[in-house]
Amino acid sequence: MTSIDQLRASQTMATLRNQPRVDASETSPANSTPVMSAKTDAVSLSNQGKEIGQMHQQLATEPSFNEDKVAAIKAAIANGSYSVDPERLADNMIKFEDELAGL
């Protein structure tokens, strides 16, 4: 039995992707030979899009958390001086849940 990789291996596949585009407006009526022209794609970003790209690059270079603050909290936990305010923690949890509910 022929392997699936070998099916139609001898047939060439013609695609339009590799052939230049012919516009109907570029053909001459007297001579029905189409005129081939290379079309190029172009993209332009708005100023707002450029600013967002710059902000993204700036954020990518900055650390995602404050290392000094994390080290201080770890040290406080290790020596037993870190305390949790349960009221503040509960308020922040409720606030977070309310924000998620709005999504």
Q: Alpha carbon of 14 to those of 5, 11, 36, 55: distances in Å?
A: 18, 10, 18, 44
Around 84, how many Cα atoms within 13 Å sit in the side-chain half-sphere? 6
DSSP SS3 for 50: helix
The answer to whether 25 touches 39, Cβ cutoff 8 Å, is no
Task: Indicate the average pLDDT of the chain.
Answer: 83
Q: What is the pLDDT of residue 38?
A: 80
Q: What is the pTM (predicted TM-score) of this model?
A: 0.36
List the Cα angle 99/101/103 in 5-degree steps. 80
List the Cα angle 40/45/50 in 5-degree steps. 140
Q: What is the pLDDT of residue 75?
A: 96
Higher-pLDDT residue of 93 and 15 is 93
Q: Rounded to whole angstroms, how far apart are CA atoms 87 and 93?
A: 10
User: Which of 7-11, 31-35, 75-79 has the least mean pLDDT?
Assistant: 31-35
pLDDT at 76 over 80: yes
pLDDT at 90 over 70: yes
Quick: pLDDT tens for 79-89. Answer: 999 999 999 99
Q: What is the pLDDT of residue 7?
A: 72
